[in-house]
Structure 1
Amino acid sequence: MTTTTTAVTLPPGPTAPRAVQGAYALTQPLRGMRRLKERYGDAFTVNVPIFGNAVVISDPAEIKQLFTSGPDLVDNLEVNLGRVLGPHSMFALAGDEHKRQRKLLVPPFHGRRLAAYEKIVEEETLRELESWPDGKAFATLPSMMRITLNAILRAVFGAEGAEFAALRELLPPFVTLGSRLAVAPISKKGRFNPWRRFERMRREYDAIVDRLIAKARVEEKDDVLSMMLQTRYDDGSGLSRDEIADQLLTLLTAGHETTATTLAWAVERLRRHPALLEELKNGDGKLLDATILEVQRTRPVIDLTARQVKQDGYRLGRWTLPKGYAVLVSIALIHDDDAVFPHAATFDPHRFAGARPDLYQWIPFGGGTRRCLGAAFATMEMTVVLRTLLRDFDLVPTAERGERWHSRGVAYAPAKGGRAIVRRRNTGGAA
């Protein structure tokens, strides 16, 4: 079957001007997607700022075809997160260069390396849990942010120091601002705009990383930065300073906020399912794994993963798309589809008991050759944090309605920060 043809066939969609559609997308992101699906079906055409002309899909077969199409047909968006993470970030690279760098960056976050990071994550979790109030309501998202930030900093740079402390202070506002700028159609022109502040913070980050690289070149350590300095392309050359700086920023940001937000959602979901909490008290690791999968299905913190058409007449399922169009996969829409996940509106981790999800249908990490590089690290991190929390604390259930979705820019968080009331168990542990 050919994958290209000449006639263009697009799904239906709204005809309002781009600015109007953009305002709707910004003010009604998730609800708007669901309404568009109700009106136009599981594929529709939109015209919005940043993406421009785009087709949104949520059909499993079309998503699988998109994820398995080669870079000659579809590849990275021309406008992407490289705007905030740098031109050498994995989010910015395309084609052979993306494949080349991805091959170098996979080893530090897979296999036996994960076992070494588990201890770091547990130590940071125990440290943070010591501050949790007993019997008083509080938002867990700030705690999860500190755990994941400290864990990724230690994994990337090793032992703490002055630069570690500087990055710990700089990164939270840096990530927050960058996340908002990534989805806002704000020009970089003009003296007074948010990009100026972002660029000042980026220069501060670069200066810190330069000092860390200089130290790593003379010290023998077993952290991600040291591995990046030692790794080599097939031709024997190494990563440049700019490549290292951009990739480190990608690891620090992408491996921090999204994982913390999912953990806050996990707390929010568990408190509203007391029977599940009781089941988890016996330390059932398989049920905990299934719970994490179901949290990511029902509360994906990123709603869209995207490609851009590189050839005229790209045939995608029922549609034939012109060159330059973006294809946006709505993660929430396929995760909410009863035909894919029966009784999709029901939070039920048992649906994953004894079975791994189809990675073309369960897609919180995206898919295909651009699937999140740190997916295994994030899964390990969530497992360790929740296992430690459920071992040392009882989460007090609640009959309150679920927290609404709140956009933090790129990620969607629980509006009240994943509020919890906990009772400390007398375990004799450090927590």
Structure 2
Amino acid sequence: MTETTVEPIAAEINLPPAPRFVPTLLQGLGYAFFRRQVVTAMTARHGEAFRLRVPLFGNMIVVTDPALAKQVFTASPEDLGNIQPNLSRVFGPGSVFALDGAEHRRRRKLLTPPFHGKAMKNYEKIVEEETLAETASWPEQREFETLEPMMRITLNIILRAIFGAAGSELTTLRRIIPPWVTLGSRIAVLPSPARDYGRFTPWGRLTNYRRQYDDTVHVLIEQAKADPRFEERTDVLALLLRSTYEDGTPMSTSEIADELLTLLAAGHETTASTLAWAFERISRHPEVLAKMVAEAATDDNQYRQATILEVQRNRTVIDFSGRHVYAPSIELGQWRIPRGYSVTVALGQAHVNAEEFPDPERFDPERFVGERPNMIAWIPFGGGTRRCVGAAFANMEMDVVLRTVLRHFVIQTTTAPGEKWHSRGVAFTPKKGGRISVRRR
């Protein structure tokens, strides 16, 4: 398979198949509210690629094959760039989601250092502390949902990692971020209204949350700048305030606020959802749980890492990653796609490709033990220049949370059927919240 190439504007267009006799409205509603089912059915019928017409994105090509995904992720951003519209309409114009091309590359260079290398070690203690604090109140010998506790843990972790302290402002953020994330996730896949319908509408409520957030973050920024230990601080806020682009200019206050909101929202819901799926999975696979428990008593984490990789493959939380065709046309496998189309990689569908993952429906961490995943076929964080900047942080976070829980609790196994998928708009979570029963060690 060759890499994505740009074709002359006069090149003959060759599009993948589309559903026959299905009105555009039904295609859009199906994709918006039953995305997994629609993509699964269309893949079974049409194979590696098909086209739909959906709200927000208009004409869309959906690819499910890892080889086509590689073409999408390795294409030049000038030819196949940032999808439109994107999550910047929720996070703000200063978010990395809003940027493309050289501007996007400049911003990623500023965002990468806080989530790699030595900085990661500073956060491990925070993860363990927050996990112990949350699990202190867990009931014993009674089923409970893990999704909401994981949401609280990951929110507190990211708040402390970003702002480096506690206080009334962080209390305000703890109050407004969860409902903001839930609301934003649900309406992010829906068109924006043509006009303002008032403060009690979903978009009006989102605007109100944003106003409270901006007021709070501006106070935190001023406090950070006035801190006598500002130059020594290792939190993300301080690092961004001290960082500059290559020309020496700093990020603006509004850009920092938008980026921090992106990290808070995107970084906490997806990680918490994956952790809830992890508990749901291991409680139904006694042999996996037993190996994880034995390993948690040591300093090793190879099997735990393999389990995290398999959860992300087997229960993919974010199931699509999109681009927009800016070139006159692009060649994608056997297809030729014109300017103006969106191209979406169906991440979850790529993860059940039998050639890449034999017996793909089986939950089996062994497939990743001692093996690095193929980063074209295993793509829960997306790929290419727009791969999630916080992937390493999320991986560390999940590893430490699972280790801490396994060291302090015995997780009861169950023969109950696996929990069904539940759509929160952008993310997919266990329908019953990843329920488990535990007792303290």
Q: Does the alignment reach a TM-score above 0.5?
A: yes
State the Cα deviation string for residues 32-76 of structure 1 (Å, max 9, x = none): 111001111110011000111010001222111111111121010
2:336 to 314, 320, 338: 320
Give ranges in structure 2 of 5+ residues lacking alignment: none
Give the residue type in structure 2 aligned to 1:176. T
2:411 to 395, 400, 403: 395
Matched residue, 2:15: 10
2:111 to 71, 95, 105: 105
After TM superposition, what 4+ stretches of structure 1 lie above 2 angstroms from structure 2?
15-18, 190-193
Percent identical residues: 52
Give the residue type in structure 1 aligned to 2:164. G
1:196 equivalent in alignment to 2:204: yes
Question: Tell me, what secondary structure is at the counterpart of 2:169?
Answer: helix
1:266 to 244, 259, 278: 278
The correspondence of residues 406-417 of structure 1 with structure 2, limited to 5 A, is 406-417=422-433
Structure 1: how far apart are the matches of 2:252 and 2:393? 24
State the Cα deviation string for residues 214-236 of structure 1 (Å, max 9, x = none): 00111123211011000011111
Q: Is the Cα contact below 8 Å between 1:3 and 1:316 reproduced in 2?
A: no
Moved more, 25-34 or 60-69: 25-34
What's the offset of the Cα at 1:3? 3.3
Moved more, 61-70 or 250-259: 61-70
What's the offset of the Cα at 1:116? 0.3
Structure 1: how far apart are the matches of 2:348 and 2:139? 34
1:213 equivalent in alignment to 2:185: no
Q: Return closer, same or farther for 1:188/1:202 CA change in 2, 3 Å cut-off.
A: farther
Q: Is the Cα contact below 8 Å between 2:63 and 2:344 reproduced in 1?
A: yes
State the Cα deviation string for residues 368-424 of structure 1 (Å, max 9, x = none): 000000000000000000011111111101111100000111100000000010011
Q: Is the Cα contact below 8 Å between 2:347 and 2:379 reproduced in 1?
A: yes
State the Cα deviation string for residues 244-294 of structure 1 (Å, max 9, x = none): 010000010111000000000000000110111111121151110000000
State the Cα deviation string for residues 315-373 of structure 1 (Å, max 9, x = none): 11111110011000001111011111011010000000111101111000000000000
Question: Tell me, what secondary structure is at the counterpart of 2:378?
Answer: coil
Structure 1: how far apart are the matches of 2:264 and 2:96? 13
Structure 2: how far apart are the matches of 1:341 and 1:140? 28
1:361 to 364, 374, 377: 377
Q: What is the TM-score when the length of structure 1 is the normalising length? A: 0.97
Matched residue, 2:250: 238
Structure 1: how far apart are the matches of 2:194 and 2:419? 35
Matched residue, 2:269: 257
1:335 to 334, 346, 351: 351
Question: Tell me, what secondary structure is at the counterpart of 2:50?
Answer: strand
Matched residue, 2:89: 83
Structure 1: how far apart are the matches of 2:115 and 2:423? 28
Matched residue, 1:349: 365
Matched residue, 1:32: 38
Q: Is the Cα contact below 8 Å between 1:43 and 1:59 reproduced in 2?
A: yes
Give the residue type in structure 1 aligned to 2:99. L
Matched residue, 2:386: 370
Q: What is the TM-score when the length of structure 2 is the normalising length? A: 0.95
1:311 equivalent in alignment to 2:323: no
Question: Tell me, what secondary structure is at the counterpart of 2:265?
Answer: helix
What's the offset of the Cα at 1:188? 5.0
State the Cα deviation string for residues 1-44 of structure 1 (Å, max 9, x = none): 85324111111011433221111123321111110011111100
Q: Is the Cα contact below 8 Å between 2:330 and 2:337 reproduced in 1?
A: yes
The CA RMSD measured in Å over matched residues stands at 1.1
State the Cα deviation string for residues 194-219 of structure 1 (Å, max 9, x = none): 11111011011000011001001111
> How many correspondences in the alignment?
425
